[in-house]
Amino acid sequence: MKAIQSALLSYGMSGRIFHAPFLEIHPGFELVGSYERSQKNIQKAYPGTHSYDSLEEVIQDPDIELIIVNTPIPTHFDYAAQALKAGKHVVVEKAFTNSTAEALELQKIAQEVGKHIFVYQNRRWDSDFLTIKKVYESGDLGEIVEAEFHFDRYNGAKSPKMHKEVPGPGAGIIFDLGPHIIDQALHLFGNPTHVFADLRKTRPGTEVEDLFEILLYYSDMRVRLKAGYYFKVPVPAFQLHGKLGSFIKTRSDRQEADLDAGRKPQGDTWGQESPQDFGVMQVDGGNPERIPSEKGNFMAFYENVFQTLRGDAKPAVSVQDGINSMRVIDAAMESSREKKVIAY
């Protein structure tokens, strides 16, 4: 079976950590190269690959079957649309697009040309989230009445990536960290009925929102999502509260740190947490209990891409999932602006 010829549109942090190592190791893919605007680094890390000098050169390469759109958010719609129209399948990083309208247009284009869009939501395969998912699906907590997911950091400095800090499409924390926990919430609980949100600017001199709280309303529960840059003392990143008990868990997936350190995503211990990071469950009438964590597995995303393009699987993170997340972001921004609850 022919390997899926794949190219990146950037070999910066995301290309180096989240994509290239998996395309190299998975036998169903061949990493052909990357579009590199200034620094030419991919050939140093992956000898034999090609460094493309322009977007057009990548898109027009007849051998390329899959293009990974891992560029700044404002470019996602345009680059993905060009790739689709050139007959390529695409993986699109988060945030999927700048708006729901753009997401819907990409879906239309993909349907017209008969190509797949895969939305890159690797945090579905974090060890901590996989553990939360297992606990939730076990039913041990009974009917869930509230869940709370955080993506917190402690860093008041502005990002050197100016597209994240200059007001405009795709800027601000809700587009940067928001898609991770929004997707996780929708993946577990489905689409909400209503959305309420508060977005704020907290860092000195910031021009974009860097703190958010989003409430997702469901008929029988609610989900609270929070992210910001001034959380010096870590709080539980995940909380599930049900009628029979509660489960709390830190954000402790090791994969990004291990990939950044150059470790290959393979081996029996890949994605394995330390026991000290295991979450705590307590049910009615019982004592607090440490629950062993599931292993993180970012490779599952690319395995699904392979099985979809070479088998009969469906995208694990579909274009519709991307649209749903963008609807929450759009609703949250409107809610914060108008100071009111928005129907989803």
Q: Which of 271, 291, 288, 287 is nearest to 279 (CA)?
A: 291
Whether residue 1 is predicted with pLDDT greater than 90 in this model: the reply is no
Tens of pLDDT, residue by residue over 84-142, are 999 999 999 999 999 999 999 999 999 999 999 999 999 999 999 999 999 999 999 99
Mean pLDDT of all residues in 255-265: 97
Mean pLDDT is lowest, of 38-52, 157-171, 308-322, for: 157-171
Confidence of residue 155 (pLDDT cuts 50, 70, 90): confident
Q: Residue 328 in 3-state DSSP?
A: helix
* Residue 4: its H or E element: strand 4-8
CA distances to 10, 36, 95 from 43, rounded to whole Å, are: 13, 11, 28
How confident is the model over 304-333, as a mean pLDDT? 98
Torsional class of 33: left (φ above 0), alpha (ψ -120 to 50), beta (otherwise): left
User: Are 169 and 73 contacting, i.e. CB atoms less than 8 angstroms apart?
Assistant: yes
The pairing of strands 50-52 and 29-35 is parallel
Taking residues 220-229, report their average pLDDT: 97
Domain 4-120: give its CATH architecture: 3-Layer(aba) Sandwich (3.40)
At 29-70, the pLDDT tens digits run 999 999 998 889 999 999 999 999 999 999 999 999 999 999
pLDDT of residue 157: 80
Fold of 124-296+327-343: Dihydrodipicolinate Reductase; domain 2 (3.30.360)
Q: Within 13 Å of residue 55, how many CA atoms lie on the same side as its CB?
A: 14
Peptide bond into 45 cis (omega under 30): no
| DSSP per position, 273-286 | PPGGG-EEEEETTS
Which range is least confidently modeled, 149-163, 226-240, 266-280?
A: 149-163
What per-residue confidence (pLDDT) applies to 239? 98
Q: Which H or E run contains 245?
A: strand 245-249
Taking alpha carbons only, the member of 174, 153, 172, 154 closest to residue 162 is 172
The pLDDT tens digits of the residues spanning 277-299 come to: 999 999 999 999 999 999 999 99
> Could you give the residue range(s) of every CATH 3.30.360.10 domain in the chain?
124-296+327-343
